[in-house]
């Protein structure tokens, strides 16, 4: 293993020379695939990549798998393949598949700004433009509200992803425990803080929090800021719009409030390592009295084996308004956090072959019924009457009076700012970063992406 | 004899398979990676020549600097720990044990063969705090050291230390065995001569044995440099680079830049910088060796 | 004084052995616990040998397929690594030619290259040759990337094979190929065992490469399966998770325990003298 300086230089020089040849080689081989042709009955494998296993009933793609199972009964040449990829690996997986022209037929992805990278590379289907090619209009299978919210989220004129579920987020609480201990649902932010203090005093962890996913931490900054100055303040600040910036006092105040909740121990110990499944388990086993989470859980909660608490023992409320703020209580109670960061995308190249259109038509025309059958709040048109479970009814009631919906904290941030918001959130929560510093870093990053004019 | 050993055809038969395989799958891709550093975008889609821009970017990138420092922390704590403890343990095995030396060696090497993923998963349970105390916290609990109980891997003050310590645990055996092998090869006569001259055991080790171990030490340092700079599995599975960016070492940063931020060119640049760093550091160490030998 | 020193030394060694062994023993014991037992303090012993964890692990994590794939890839790659490195190391150390030093340098350089430097180009290479998502593709990558380390260790080994043995064989009328097969190979068995074991551990334990180049379920490798199983249900189902981790480390552990004497001897010979 002796290597002298001279020979090292020689190797590096050789490296550079071969590099030149490398470039010739790789340029030629770019677009040789893609002219696949064949008859309609040729064998086809429909590939899906998702962050949860398709066998898991809570998984977004579970209904897709059910549809495929039914579909291949009549189409023996059609087969499918599901692949589960860890959430934080999906982007890298898709990135690699794009450069090898092998994007799957369908995959789940982080919605919002993250999609831009896929759109730029022309990797996914423009839903507004091309969806109808499968033989059915978008409006005929997706509820208008769901299409609208996709448009709100999109940074483009068109939408490039399909909705997975109707989701809203709020505080789930252990009704039984509340009754036993004489706690009541808070009607103001101040009461909410007092409630947390009381629960902690009683030796129970007030809120379960999956801090390893990071977004559950930033959500508390958003909740407070929105309740002080309105549901769009964080979305505006994310793009330096309407004279909003994360430098505004309101965000420092909100970050301080969120930090205080974590420092007070309302989210227990070691929240930075807690994962979603642990969070649910802690709530369902009574280790924590409440948790902030989304309505996607409803599908699992109809199963008594999972829901050890029992449906009748689970309550739901939207974090209440702040006394003394410019937003009144009524307004705050209708500020639903409609965040569902998962998008369903269709790979463009595979779509263009036309071999999947027939299946896609079958899938989306039956999606509504299929989803509601397994207890998902579906954004798709249904043909049957819906029968809600008690917990689902809570959500339906809430959504019906919802007037001022909003989106998650990072929804409108560029990808660099999103990283900063999420990564630093863990440091903010554990107390090693000050609220001022947190907000300054966010604002600096936003300034770079959206320079103030 | 000479003629047979200079048989051109035989040489080709022996060396060519390795050269061809290595060139096609290792060397050529490395050059390609280097070539990518002058580009930005996605290969086959929108690859654009940007000159030295990616290298210039490194200097202004705060995250790169942070990751670099994190890698250096790992390099000094874990890499250094491997060498220091590896040597100490090897000496203990050689001079402290008469019996069970074989069994002890076997056990000390054991963690080396455990997959990184499994070790990380194992230790995430050992270090857990929520929802149930893991092995460490429950031991602390029993001993009444409640104040020490914490989320070891979720706390920015301790997370990187945990990554370092777990990899230290996993790696010591490897270096111990190499040092140990070096120790066996120290001729017994040398030690005996020292003893006859009246030198104590420690003096013998310090004055006679360690200098003889120098080539082995250099070898271990080179291996430690290579292994510690390319660390990937442990911080990924144990902490996923967090909390915040506290455990985002260069390799994880590079992977995220290239494969989740769509910046292949910049990602390749970071990779090449690491390669150069590895080569420079190992060269420095080997240089030191040579200079003193002359 | 001498005795006291020795006592302290022994204490340290025992302490060290405990630290090395205890987590592994704890892991194995915990894999036999029922989910109810995980609520008790972690250091308690399991109440009975609860084997259901393993049944769940085998079914849910698809251990059979994972094992089969990993075994095929590892074994075939090792064969290639062995062929490439044993012949090349022979040509470089024993045969006399002008470029031998350069070849030595060129091949050992691979040891310095971190795997992820090569990731993207190798991906493009496999894609062009239609080897993505196949066990063969993994074999190609593993065989070539593991080559440098094996080659380096073997050059260290061969160097200490006395030239006289070769000379004697030549005088007896052996040609170069027979010298290699009849003399060098049989005399280097310890070295081969070391190389095989290190390559085995490297491939069997790899996450990065197998995670990047294979995406289909039927060709998934063990560590990737393990990582996603842990990710999927690691926090909900500790028992099966521990069982899966155990299953994943058993083969390397077993191989190591069987071969450990030779490995340690081989490692020392190859590494130290080289």
- pLDDT tens for C34-76 read 877 777 777 778 877 788 888 888 887 788 899 999 999 999 9
Residue A419 in tokens: 């990283």
Q: Is residue C108 within 8 angstroms of chain A, CB to CB? A: yes
C48's tokens: 């009975």
pLDDT exceeds cutoff 60 at C272: no
Angular region, C206: left φ>0, alpha ψ -120 to 50, beta rest: beta
Confidence at residue B129, expressed as pLDDT on a 0 to 100 scale: 83
Answer yes or no: do A93 and A112 share one domain. yes
Residue A24 lies in a domain: no
> Is residue A33 domain-resident?
no
* Residue ranges of chain A whose pLDDT lies below 70: 1-41, 87-88, 339-340, 453
Rounded CA gap, B22 and B34, in Å? Answer: 17
Count of helix runs (H) and strand runs (E) in chain C? 14, 0
Whether residue C215 and residue A93 make contact (CB cut-off 8 A), yes or no, is: yes
Same domain, A61 and A188: no
Token readout for A378 is: 């579906």
Express each pLDDT in C118-137 by its tens digit.
888 898 888 888 888 889 99
Q: Which residues pair with A406 in a beta bridge?
A: A337
DSSP 8-state class, residue B157: T
Residue A54 sits in the same domain as residue A102 = yes
Number of H-type helices and E-type strands within chain A: 20, 8
Picking from C17, C116, C120, the nearest residue to B251 by CB comes out as C116
Residue C93: both structure tokens together: 């150390």
Q: Could you give the CA distance from residue C245 to residue C202 in angstroms, rounded to a whole number?
A: 17
Q: What is the pLDDT of residue A6?
A: 38
Q: Are B189 and B279 in contact (CB under 8 A)?
A: no
This complex has an ipTM of 0.86
Q: Which residue has the higher pLDDT, C1 or B172?
A: B172
Report the distance separating Cα B163 and Cα B64, nearest Å.
19
**Interface test with chain A among C120, C134, C235, by most A beta carbons within 10 Å:** C235
Residue C167 has pLDDT above 80, yes or no: yes
Domains of chain C: 51-273 (1.10.3720.10)
Is any Cβ of chain B less than 8 angstroms from the Cβ of C183? no
Write out pLDDT tens, residues B57-70.
Answer: 998 888 999 999 99
Predicted confidence (pLDDT) per residue in C71-127, tens digit: 999 999 999 999 999 999 999 988 888 888 899 999 988 888 888 788 888 988 888
Look up tokens 């760093």; give the residue.
B277
Separation CA B244–CA A427 (nearest Å):
6
Beta bridge partners of A169: A294, A337
SS (H, E, C) B3-54: HHHCCHHHHHHHHHHHHHHHHHHHHHHHHHHHHHCCEECCCCCCCEECCCHH
**A82 three-class SS:** strand
Q: Tell the residue number behind the tokens 């789940």, with chain if given.
A: A108
Q: Do B226 and C20 touch (CB under 8 A)?
A: no
Which residues of chain B have a CB within 8 Å of the CB of A31? Answer: 44
Give the residue among C164, C166, C189, C191 at the shortest CA–CA distance from C272.
Answer: C191
Residue B232's SS3 state is coil
User: Token pair for residue C162?
Assistant: 């006395």
Matching CATH number, B38-293, of 1.10.3720.10, 1.25.40.10, 3.40.50.620, 1.10.1060.10: 1.10.3720.10
**Residue A112 domain-assigned?**
yes
Average pLDDT on C197-206 reads 87
**Largest Cα–Cα distance of chain A, in whole Å?**
80
CB atoms A11 and C123 under 8 Å: no
Residue that has been written with the tokens 């551990």 in this structure: C201
Q: CB under 8 Å to C5, separation ≥6 — which residues?
A: none
Instruction: Indicate yes or no: CB of A1 within 8 angstroms of CB of C274.
Output: yes
What's the rounded Cα separation, in Å, for the pair B292 and C270? 24
The distance from CA B41 to its chain's CA centroid, rounded to whole angstroms, is 31
Q: Does A114 touch chain B (CB under 8 A)?
A: no
Cβ-in-10-Å burial (0-12, 13-18, 19+) of C36 comes to: exposed
- The answer to whether B125 contacts C238, with C-beta atoms less than 8 Å apart, is yes
**What number of residues does chain A have?**
453
Within a domain: residue A398?
A: no
Q: What is the pLDDT of residue C86?
A: 94
Residue in B31, B244, B259 closest to A427 by CB: B244
- pLDDT value at residue B206: 83
For chain C, give the percent of residues with pLDDT over 90. Answer: 19
Residues A103 and B44: their CA atoms lie apart, in Å, by 14
Which pLDDT belongs to residue A171?
94
Contact B45 A23 (CB under 8 A): no
Domain definitions of chain B by residue range: 38-293
Peptide bond before B243: cis, by omega within 30 degrees of 0?
yes
What mean pLDDT value characterizes chain C?
84
Paired residues of A208 in beta bridges: A291
Nearest by CB to B18, from C27, C84, C268: name it. C84
- Look at C12 and B109 and tell me if their CB atoms are within 8 Å: no
- A226/A305 same-domain check: yes
- pLDDT of C267 over the 70 cut: no
Task: Output the pLDDT for position A364.
Answer: 93
Output the six-digit token pair for A175: 């009704």
Which position has the higher pLDDT, A258 or C184?
Answer: A258
Task: Look at residue C270 in the predicted model and tell me its pLDDT.
Answer: 54
Distance from CA of A403 to the nearest CA of B (A): 35
Tell me, yes or no, whether A196 and A69 share the same domain.
no
Smallest Cα distance from C101 to chain A, Å: 10
Q: pLDDT (tens digit, 9 = 90+) per residue, B162-215?
A: 999 999 999 999 899 888 888 887 777 877 887 788 777 778 888 888 888 888
Q: Which residue of B has its CA nearest to A20?
A: B35
Higher pLDDT among residues A42 and B280, named by residue: B280
Query: Bigger pLDDT: C22 or C194?
Result: C22
Task: Label residues A360-393 b or e (16+ Cβ within 10 Å = b).
Answer: bebbbbbbbbbbbbebbbbbbbbeeeeeeeebbe
Asked if pLDDT for residue B86 goes beyond 50, the answer is yes
Residue A445 structural domain = 169-338+405-449
CA distance to partner chain C, nearest, from residue A221 (Å): 27
The dihedral built from the CA positions of residue B87, B88, B93 and B96, taken in this order, carries a sign that is positive
Partner-chain residue, chosen from B45, B149, B279, that has the shortest CB–CB distance to A98: B45
On whether both A198 and A296 belong to a single domain, the answer is yes
Give A-chain residues touching C120 at CB under 8 angstroms.
Answer: 96, 99
Q: How confident is the model at residue B40 (pLDDT cuts 50, 70, 90)?
A: confident
Residue B259 pLDDT grade (very low, low, confident, very high; cuts 50, 70, 90): confident
Q: Angle A219-A221-A226 (CA atoms, 0-180°, nearest 5)? A: 95
Pairwise CB contact (< 8 Å): C234 & B24 = no
Predicted pLDDT of residue B293: 53
Round the CA-based radius of gyration of chain A to a whole number and report it: 24
Per-residue pLDDT at A406: 85
Searching chain C, which residue's CA lies closest to the CA of residue A30? C128
As for how many domains chain A has, the answer is 2
CATH number at residue A116: 3.40.190.10
Write down which chains contact chain B via at least 3 CB pairs under 8 A.
Answer: A, C
Nearest to A252 by CA among A211, A231, A221, A229: A221
For residues B212 and B160, which has the higher predicted lDDT (pLDDT)? B160
Buried b or exposed e, range A190-226, using 16+ CB within 10 angstroms: eebbebbeebbeeebbbbbbbbbebbbbbbbbbbbbb
A8-14 contacts, C-beta under 8 A, 24 or more apart: A8/B279, A8/B283, A11/C105, A11/C106, A11/C109
Per residue in A390-434, pLDDT tens?
888 888 887 777 778 888 898 888 888 988 999 999 999 999 999
């Amino acid at each position: 293993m002796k290597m002298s300086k001279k020979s090292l230089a020689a190797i590096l020089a050789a490296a550079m020379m071969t590099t030149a040849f490398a470039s010739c080689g790789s340029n030629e081989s770019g677009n040789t695939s893609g002219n696949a042709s064949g008859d309609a009955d040729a064998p086809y494998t429909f590939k899906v990549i998702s962050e949860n296993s398709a066998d898991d009933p809570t998984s977004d793609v579970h209904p897709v798998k059910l549809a495929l199972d039914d579909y291949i009964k009549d189409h023996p040449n059609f087969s499918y393949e599901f692949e589960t990829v860890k959430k934080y690996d999906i982007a890298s997986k898709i990135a690699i598949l794009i450069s090898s022209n092998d994007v799957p037929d369908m995959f789940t992805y982080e919605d919002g700004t993250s999609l831009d990278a896929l759109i730029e590379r022309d990797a996914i289907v423009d839903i507004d433009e091309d969806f109808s090619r499968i033989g059915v209009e978008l409006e005929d299978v997706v509820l208008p509200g769901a299409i609208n919210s996709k448009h709100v989220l999109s940074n483009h004129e068109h939408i490039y992803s399909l909705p997975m579920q109707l989701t809203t987020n709020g505080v789930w609480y252990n009704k039984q425990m509340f009754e036993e201990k004489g706690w009541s649902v808070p009607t103001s932010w101040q009461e909410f803080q007092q409630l947390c203090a009381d629960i902690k005093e009683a030796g129970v962890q007030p809120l379960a929090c999956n801090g390893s996913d990071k977004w559950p931490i930033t959500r508390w900054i958003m909740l407070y800021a929105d309740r002080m100055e309105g549901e769009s303040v964080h979305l505006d600040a994310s793009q330096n719009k309407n004279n909003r910036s994360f430098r505004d006092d309101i965000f420092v105040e909100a970050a301080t409030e969120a930090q205080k909740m974590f420092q007070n121990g309302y989210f227990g110990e070691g929240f930075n390592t807690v994962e979603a499944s642990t969070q649910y388990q802690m709530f369902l086993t009574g280790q924590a009295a409440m948790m902030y989470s989304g309505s996607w859980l409803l599908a699992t909660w109809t199963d008594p084996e999972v829901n050890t608490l029992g449906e009748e023992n689970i309550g739901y409320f939207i974090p209440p308004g702040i006394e003394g703020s410019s937003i009144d209580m009524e307004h705050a109670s209708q500020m639903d956090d409609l965040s569902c960061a998962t998008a369903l995308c269709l790979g463009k190249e595979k779509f263009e072959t036309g071999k999947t259109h027939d299946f896609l038509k079958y899938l989306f025309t039956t999606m509504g019924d299929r989803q509601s059958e397994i207890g998902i709040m579906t954004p798709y048109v249904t043909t049957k009457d819906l029968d809600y479970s008690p917990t689902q009814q809570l959500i339906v009631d809430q959504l019906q009076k919802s007037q001022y919906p909003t989106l998650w904290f990072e929804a409108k941030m560029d990808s660099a700012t999103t990283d900063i918001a999420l990564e630093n959130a863990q440091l903010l929560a554990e107390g090693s970063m000050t609220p001022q510093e947190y907000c300054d870093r966010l604002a600096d990053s936003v300034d770079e992406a959206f320079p103030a004019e | 004899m000479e003629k047979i050993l200079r048989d051109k055809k035989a040489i080709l038969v022996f060396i060519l398979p390795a050269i061809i395989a290595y060139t096609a799958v290792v060397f050529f891709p490395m050059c390609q990676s280097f070539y990518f550093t002058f580009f930005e975008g996605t290969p086959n889609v929108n690859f654009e020549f940007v000159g030295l821009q990616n290298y210039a970017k490194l200097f202004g990138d705060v995250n790169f600097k942070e990751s670099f420092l994190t890698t250096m922390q790992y390099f000094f704590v874990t890499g250094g720990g491997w060498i220091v403890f590896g040597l100490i343990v090897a000496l203990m095995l050689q001079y402290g044990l008469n019996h069970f030396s074989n069994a002890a060696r076997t056990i000390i090497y054991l963690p080396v063969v455990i997959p990184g993923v499994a070790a990380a998963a194992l230790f995430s349970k050992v270090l857990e705090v929520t929802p149930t105390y893991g092995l460490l916290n429950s031991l602390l609990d029993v001993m009444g050291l409640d104040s020490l109980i914490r989320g070891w891997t979720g706390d920015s003050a301790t997370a990187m230390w945990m990554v370092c310590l777990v990899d230290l645990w996993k790696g010591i055996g490897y270096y111990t065995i190499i040092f140990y092998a070096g120790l066996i090869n120290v001729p017994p006569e040398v030690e005996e001569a020292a003893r006859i001259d009246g030198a104590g055991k420690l003096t013998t080790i310090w004055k006679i044995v360690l200098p003889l171990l120098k080539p082995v030490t250099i070898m271990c340092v080179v291996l430690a440099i290579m292994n510690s700079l390319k660390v990937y599995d442990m911080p990924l599975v144990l902490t996923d680079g967090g909390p915040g960016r506290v455990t985002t070492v260069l390799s994880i940063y590079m992977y995220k830049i290239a494969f989740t931020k769509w910046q292949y060119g910049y990602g390749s640049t970071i990779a090449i910088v690491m390669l150069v760093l590895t080569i420079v550091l190992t060269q420095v160490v080997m240089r030191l060796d040579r200079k003193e030998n002359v | 004084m001498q005795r006291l020193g020795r006592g302290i030394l022994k204490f340290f060694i025992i302490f060290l052995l405990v630290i090395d062994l205890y987590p592994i023993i704890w892991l194995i014991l915990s894999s036999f616990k029922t989910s109810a037992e995980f609520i008790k303090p972690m250091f308690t012993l399991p109440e009975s040998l609860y084997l259901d964890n393993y049944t769940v692990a085998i079914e849910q994590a698809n251990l059979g397929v994972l094992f089969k794939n990993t075994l095929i890839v590892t074994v075939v790659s090792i064969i290639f690594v062995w062929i490439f490195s044993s012949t090349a190391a022979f040509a470089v150390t024993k045969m006399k030619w002008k470029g031998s030093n350069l070849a030595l340098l060129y091949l050992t350089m691979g040891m310095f290259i971190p795997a992820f430097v090569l990731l993207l180009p190798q991906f493009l290479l496999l894609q062009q040759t239609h080897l993505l998502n196949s066990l063969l593709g993994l074999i190609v990558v593993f065989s070539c990337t593991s080559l440098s380390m094996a080659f380096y260790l073997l050059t260290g080994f061969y160097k200490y094979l006395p030239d006289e043995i070769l000379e004697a064989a030549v005088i007896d009328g052996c040609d170069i190929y027979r010298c290699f097969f009849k003399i060098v190979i049989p005399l280097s068995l310890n070295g081969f065992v070391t190389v095989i074991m290190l390559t085995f551990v490297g491939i069997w334990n790899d996450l990065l490469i197998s995670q990047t180049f294979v995406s289909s379920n039927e060709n998934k490798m063990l560590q990737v399966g393990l990582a996603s199983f842990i990710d999927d249900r690691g926090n909900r189902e500790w028992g099966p998770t521990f069982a899966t981790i155990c299953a994943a480390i058993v083969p390397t552990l077993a191989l190591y325990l069987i071969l450990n004497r030779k490995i340690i001897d081989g490692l020392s010979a190859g590494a130290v003298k080289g």
